[in-house]
Amino acid sequence: MALVEARGLTKVFRRPQKDPGLRGALKHLVQRRFKDFRAVDGIDLSIEAGEAVAYVGPNGAGKSTTIKLLTGILVPTKGTVAVDGHQPHVERIVNARNIGVLFGQRTQLWWDLPVRESLALLRDMYSLSPTFYKQRLERLDDVLGLGELMPVLARKLSLGQRMRADLAAALLHQPKIVYLDEPTIGLDISVKDRVRQFLRELRADGTTLMLTTHDLGDIEDVCERIVIIDEGRKIFDGPLKEMKDQFARVRRMHLQLASSVPLAQVAAVLPETEVAQGDGPHSVTITFDRFTHTAGQIVSAVLQVTEVGELHLDEPAIEDVVRKVYAGELLRESV
């Protein structure tokens, strides 16, 4: 049996329907009207132990609601869900010991306590031995640099510092599965790279990861499988490479040239690309298919015409990829 198993998972919220203003509020007190909203609509999901799965979609797609159903915070309206053989919303304590959770917009630190005390409370809640706790803290400190944060009150932490402390709190008890919502938001590049490396090590050690993020770098560095949802429905579930090959082929390179060169001259050395004027003087934007040209080939071709000062390569935003996947699904449904 898979570590996470969901069948027909559905969550419906009732939203009040009332007219604006005081009159609308008074009318709603007497004559209540509601409208059902399906945040999650019949999702089937199976995740094996040791998998790292990216769970993505546009804002409002149902990602956070799904995570709350899997963690037991919410009760499904319909369908079934089991995590390590347990129903999360029924066996809450058992489930809590098996999972780690990081919500980017929420914290599990005690707001008016130093980070050290918050972690110590979590140690006691999970009944961790002093030896295990010490070893685990040392491991997390190597990655997250916790030493400077330990005496600081949680409410005094910056966003990046809080994310580091919350990551430590989520991973302290060495859970079987970790749900991560925007785990690298607010982190500088060096810490972000260390966190991604640590997540890869967790995956290699058999920890199951479910990652929701808008950062394509997080997805590419950590996950091999991607699940995309939109309007509460699953629209893609497969290897990350397959999704990128099908829906994320186009790249845009922005080049600052050393001198003014006619666009036609640049286009002449770059067949099967689109060459356009950039935002500033002596700048061009080149759109290309990564299966036809590599970034290195683009630069080498431009160097035949003129020297290149600066360059920037745009990676496709995950929202754009989702739109392309969704458009493809609609096309298939209409055929």
How, if at all, do strands 78-83 and 208-212 pair? unpaired
The shares of helix, strand and coil residues in the chain, as percent rounded to the nearest 5, are 40, 30, 35
Q: Is residue 120 very low, low, confident or very high in pLDDT (cuts 50, 70, 90)? A: very high
Are 271 and 293 in contact by the 8 Å Cβ rule? The answer is no
Separation CA 252–CA 314 (nearest Å): 5
Q: Is the pLDDT of residue 330 over 70?
A: no
Q: State the sign of the Cα–Cα–Cα–Cα dihedral 256, 258, 263, 264.
A: negative
Three-state DSSP state, 272: coil
State in words which class domain 4-245 has.
alpha beta
State in words which class domain 249-315 has.
alpha beta
Residue 318 has a pLDDT of 63
Q: Quick: pLDDT tens for 250-264.
A: 888 998 888 888 888
- Average pLDDT in the 265-291 region? 89
Q: Which residue has the higher pLDDT, 73 or 241?
A: 73
Domain parsing of the chain, residue ranges: 4-245, 249-315
Separation CA 171–CA 100 (nearest Å): 6
Residue 240 has a pLDDT of 84
CA 212 to the chain's CA centroid:
3
Q: Is the pLDDT of residue 176 over 90?
A: yes
Q: Is residue 319 very low, low, confident or very high in pLDDT (cuts 50, 70, 90)? A: low
Separation CA 9–CA 27 (nearest Å): 35
Q: Quick: pLDDT tens for 185-220.
A: 777 787 788 888 888 988 888 899 999 887 777 888
Report the percentage of the chain scoring pLDDT > 70. Answer: 94
